[in-house]
Every structure is written in structure tokens, then in C-alpha cells.
Amino acid sequence: MMPGMDEITFHTRLHRAGSILDIGAHDGLLTLPFARLPGARVLAFEPLPAAFARLRAGVVAAFGGIPPHVALRAEALGAAPGSLTLSVPVLDGVAQEQWASMAKDYGGFASVAVQRHAVEVITLDSLGLADLTHVKLDAEGFEQEVLEGGRATLARCRPVLSLEVEERHRPGSTRDVPALLDALGYETRFFLDGAFRPLSDFDAATMQAASPDPAVFAASDPYVFTFFAWPQERAAEVLATLAG
């Protein structure tokens, strides 16, 4: 039994020197500890302007500037290059940044105002990474497009991944994202009650019941939304390392 497993613990235990992608970096909650891992080169993507400003300020405060092994990118990652709209719901005058999404526009929620930002989109594959070892992905329903745009990189580099995937942001995503990863030779699991559990144990109807309306905060208990994935050929090694 493993007593707990959050994303930074997962990546720290499995750490290998190389490039780390923090996709949906927000304020840098994971960017900063990633940047302190030995031999790490961190690329942090955050397309929401207000969050990007805080991300940059946080890195500067922590390191006295932007260190050479950290790159902060204001673009979004997707399936193809271009420009898309990032929609942010606003409740009582407060932008709900944790709901910022390119997968939905919140037009159907009468009680919610919406900020909209045009963002540049590039693909993960366009980065040409040869040493990608870790990926943290939190794109509020846009995870499938990010992975589609990184197929060649995932096939070449075989990084380990942590992903936040939620039905409230995109119905069917807890089925479709793991299916895409499976086609790329990845095993996906979730952590619950002290153990990594296979996807066959996951039931979205009971483990991830929540309203898609940002004005409604009730959710199931447990609410499982963080998933972990690794190359199938490394499964035994990864699980042994995480258990150690």
C-alpha cells in the first residue's frame, strides 16, 4: 500500500533528467518543484494572460530571474497550429480560472458571464523534443487535442504522464483519453485507497459525478480526476519504483 500519491510525488519518484512539460501551468504550483529536480529542463505552458503573469512573477521570485533551464510559454498546445478561443467563466465578478477552457465556451449557462481570449496554438510535436521524460497535463477538456499533437514525441521519447481528466469539462474524456494513450502503447491508472488501480476499476458515474456548470460545486465522493500513465514496456519498473 502506498499512503498517498500526488502529481509531484509521482514525477519526483520517477524522475529522469531531461525535458519536463508542465501543460496548464497556471501559477506554477508544479513548475517550481519541477525546476528544482536535478538535470531538469522545464517548459511551462499557460495561455491565460493573468495566470501567465503570476507564473512568471513566481519563477522570478523563486530564482531571481528566469533561469536558463526554464522556459515559460504563453501559447496553448493542441492538435494543429492556429488560433483558438480560451473561455473563462466569471461568477460574481470573479474569473473562475480553474475552468478556463478551449473545449467549451460556457454559452449555455445563463448565470455565468464569460471572458474570451484569443490564444496561439502550437503542437507538442513542433517542439522537436528528443529528451522528454515527464508530462503534466491539465487542459480543462482539451487533453485529447494536446496528445494528438504530440503523437510522434510520445512515440519517440516515452515520457511518464500525469493528467487531470474530467467529464464535467468534456463528456466521454475519461474513456477517450486513456483509449488514445492505449493506442500509443501506454498504461493508464488512477490512485485510490493507497493503490494504483486499473482503469477497469474506474466508474465515471460514481467516481466523477459533477455539474458542468461552474456555478455548481457539488461532486461525488470520491471524486477521481487525476490519472497517471506510463509506457507499457516500463510498467513493472514504474510500479516497483512508485511502491519503493
Tens-digit pLDDT profile for residues 98-116: 999 999 999 888 878 999 9
45, 23 Cβ separation under 8 angstroms? yes
**Residues forming a β-bridge with 21:** 43, 135
Tens-digit pLDDT profile for residues 78-94: 999 999 999 999 999 99
In this predicted structure, what is the pLDDT of residue 218? 87
173, 202 Cβ separation under 8 angstroms? no
* Better-scored residue on pLDDT, 228 or 216: 228
Tens-digit pLDDT profile for residues 35-54: 999 999 999 999 999 999 99
In this predicted structure, what is the pLDDT of residue 3? 61
Under 8 Å CB-to-CB from 62, ≥6 apart: which residues?
32, 35
Taking 3-state DSSP, the helix, strand and coil percentages for the chain, each rounded to the nearest 5, stand at 30, 30, 40
In this predicted structure, what is the pLDDT of residue 113? 93
Specify the pairing of strand 82-91 against strand 94-95: antiparallel
Cis-peptide, bond into residue 222, ω within 30° of zero: yes
Can you tell me the distance from the alpha carbon of 120 to that of 214, in angstroms, rounded to the nearest whole number? 25
Under 8 Å CB-to-CB from 87, ≥6 apart: which residues?
100, 101, 102, 104, 105, 106, 114, 115, 116
In this predicted structure, what is the pLDDT of residue 111? 79
List the domains of the chain with CATH numbers.
Answer: 7-243 (3.40.50.150)
CA 182 vs CA 179, 230, 244: distances in Å: 5, 10, 26
Under 8 Å CB-to-CB from 61, ≥6 apart: which residues?
none
Q: How many CB atoms lie within 10 A of CB 137?
A: 24
Tell me the whole-structure pTM to 2 decimals.
0.96
Average pLDDT over residues 5-18: 97
Tens-digit pLDDT profile for residues 145-177: 999 999 999 999 999 999 999 999 999 999 999
In this predicted structure, what is the pLDDT of residue 2? 62
Q: Which amino acid is at 52?
A: F
Average pLDDT over residues 225-238: 98
- Checking if the pLDDT of 193 tops 80, the result is yes
